[in-house]
C-alpha cells in the first residue's frame, strides 16, 4: 500500500459489483476509508438484475481485509432524499467527505433505434446515468466547498465521446455526464473542489468483481454470449479488453493529490478505441 488516499473518506455509488467493486478495492489498498452504496434492488424497466445487498456486503468485506473502515448503505440515485441521507450518514461517520465516485449506472433498456425508444425508457436512462450523478454532486458540493477540498470523479464511457447505434439514451446520458463534469468543475474550482470524468471502453466482465456490463450490452445488441468478448475485442486497437483495475487505477489518480491541478478533464481508458 502506498497510501495515496490515506486519511481520506471516499463515497462510491454502484459499489456492489463491477467497476464499483474494483474501485472500492483500489481505494482501500491506498488507505482510504469508504462509504459504499448501491441500489440493492432491481428497477422496473431495467431488463437485468442490479446489485444486491449481499454483493455490497461482499465488497465491504473485501475492503475491510485491506484495512479500510467501511460504511455501507442502500441508495437509489433517482431519489434525492436517499442521496442526501447517505451523504449525511457518511459525514456523521467520517466527519468529512474527500472523494466521490459517481459510478452508479445502467446500460439498458437499449438495443433499439432512437425512434423506437419509449418515453419511460428514455426518462429512466437519463434519471439514473445523468441526473443521478447530478443529485450526488448537489448533495456533496456545499460540504466540499466549505472544507475547500474534494475530488469528484464521474464514470462516463466512450459512449460519452462517440455515438453507438441503438444506444441513443445511453449515449445521450453519458455525453451529458461529460458536460456536467466540465460545468461543475468550473462552478467548484474557486473552492478547490475538482471534478473529472473517466471514460472506460469495453471492460472485461471479471468474475472476481462480478462484472456483467459487457455481457448486458452484448445482449442488447443480440450478440451471442459465447461470442461477445471476441466481438468487442475486434474493435480494440490494442487487441485487449480493458480490465476493471485499469479503470480503478485512473479513478485513484484523479482522487489523489497527484492530480491536484486536474479538473474538468476527461481521462479515457479504452485501449485506443476513441482515437480512431
Where residue 242 sits, what CATH number does that domain have? 3.40.50.720
Q: How many CA atoms lie within 13 A of 62 on its CB side?
A: 21
89 part of a folded domain: yes
Quick one: how far is CA 68 from the chain centroid?
20
pLDDT at 85: 98
Q: How many C-beta atoms lie closer than 10 Å to residue 273's C-beta?
A: 21
What pLDDT was estimated at residue 213?
Answer: 86
Is beta strand 193-200 parallel, antiparallel or unpaired with respect to 70-74?
unpaired
pLDDT, position 76:
98
Residue with cell 468543475: 185
Cell of 174: 453519458
- Residues annotated catalytic, as ranges: 170
275 falls within a domain: no
Q: What is the pLDDT of residue 224?
A: 83
pLDDT at 233: 86
What pLDDT score was predicted for residue 226? 73
pLDDT of res. 212: 86
User: With a cut of 70, which residues of the chain have pLDDT below it?
Assistant: 1-2
User: Residue 257 domain-assigned?
Assistant: yes
Which among 153, 151, 149 is positioned nearest to 190, based on CA atoms?
A: 149
Question: Measuring CA to CA, which residue among 60, 32, 150, 139 is closest to residue 99?
Answer: 150
Residue 14 located in a structural domain: yes
Task: Say if 69 falls within a structural domain.
Answer: yes
End-to-end Cα separation, the chain, in angstroms: 36
Residue at 2 is within a domain: no
Q: Which long-range contacts (CB under 8 A, 24 or more apart) does 179-187 make?
A: 180/130, 180/133, 180/134, 180/137, 180/154, 181/154, 181/156, 181/264, 181/266, 182/264, 184/137, 184/141, 184/152, 185/263, 185/264, 185/265, 186/264, 187/141
Measured in degrees and rounded to the nearest 5, phi and psi for residue 249 equal -65, -35
| pLDDT at position 223 | 82
| 235 inside domain | yes
Q: Cα 103 to chain center, whole Å? A: 2
pLDDT value of position 1:
47
Structural domains of the chain, count: 1
**pLDDT reported for residue 201:** 94
Range of the domain at 261: 9-268
113 DSSP assignment:
-
**What local confidence, expressed as pLDDT, does residue 249 receive?**
98
pLDDT at residue 91, rounded to an integer:
96
Torsion of CA 40, 43, 49, 52, to 10 degrees: 0
**Cell numbers that stand for 252 in this block:** 485513484
pLDDT of residue 217: 87
Q: Is residue 195 part of a domain?
A: yes
**C-alpha dihedral, 14 to 84 to 98 to 148, nearest 10°:** 150
Measure Cα distances from 1 to 4, 32, 171 in Å.
8, 11, 37
Amino acid at each position: 500500500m502506498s497510501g495515496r488516499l490515506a486519511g481520506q473518506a471516499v463515497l462510491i455509488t454502484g459499489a456492489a459489483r463491477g467497476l464499483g467493486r474494483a474501485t472500492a478495492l483500489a481505494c482501500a489498498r491506498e488507505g482510504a476509508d469508504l462509504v459504499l452504496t448501491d441500489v440493492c434492488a432491481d428497477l422496473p424497466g431495467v431488463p437485468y438484475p442490479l446489485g444486491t445487498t449481499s454483493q455490497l456486503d461482499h465488497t465491504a468485506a473485501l475492503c475491510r481485509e485491506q484495512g479500510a473502515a467501511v460504511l455501507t448503505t442502500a441508495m437509489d440515485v433517482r431519489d434525492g432524499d436517499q442521496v442526501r441521507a447517505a451523504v449525511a450518514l457518511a459525514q456523521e461517520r467520517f466527519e468529512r467527505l474527500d472523494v466521490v465516485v459517481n459510478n452508479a449506472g445502467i446500460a439498458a433498456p437499449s438495443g433499439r433505434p432512437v425512434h423506437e425508444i419509449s418515453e419511460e425508457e428514455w426518462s429512466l436512462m437519463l434519471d439514473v446515468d445523468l441526473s443521478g450523478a447530478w443529485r450526488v454532486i448537489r448533495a456533496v458540493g456545499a460540504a466540499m466547498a466549505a472544507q475547500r477540498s474534494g475530488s469528484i470523479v464521474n464514470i462516463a464511457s466512450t459512449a460519452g465521446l462517440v455515438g453507438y447505434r441503438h444506444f441513443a439514451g445511453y449515449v445521450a446520458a453519458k455525453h451529458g455526464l461529460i458536460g456536467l463534469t466540465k460545468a461543475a468543475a468550473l462552478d467548484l474550482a474557486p473552492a478547490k473542489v475538482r471534478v473529472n470524468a473517466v471514460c472506460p471502453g469495453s471492460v472485461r466482465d471479471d468474475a472476481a468483481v462480478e462484472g456483467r456490463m459487457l455481457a448486458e450490452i452484448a445482449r442488447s445488441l443480440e450478440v451471442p454470449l459465447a461470442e461477445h468478448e471476441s466481438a468487442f475485442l475486434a474493435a480494440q486497437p490494442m487487441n485487449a479488453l480493458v480490465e476493471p483495475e485499469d479503470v480503478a487505477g485512473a479513478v485513484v489518480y484523479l482522487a489523489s493529490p497527484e492530480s491536484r491541478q486536474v479538473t474538468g478533464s476527461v481521462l479515457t481508458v479504452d485501449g485506443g478505441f476513441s482515437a480512431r
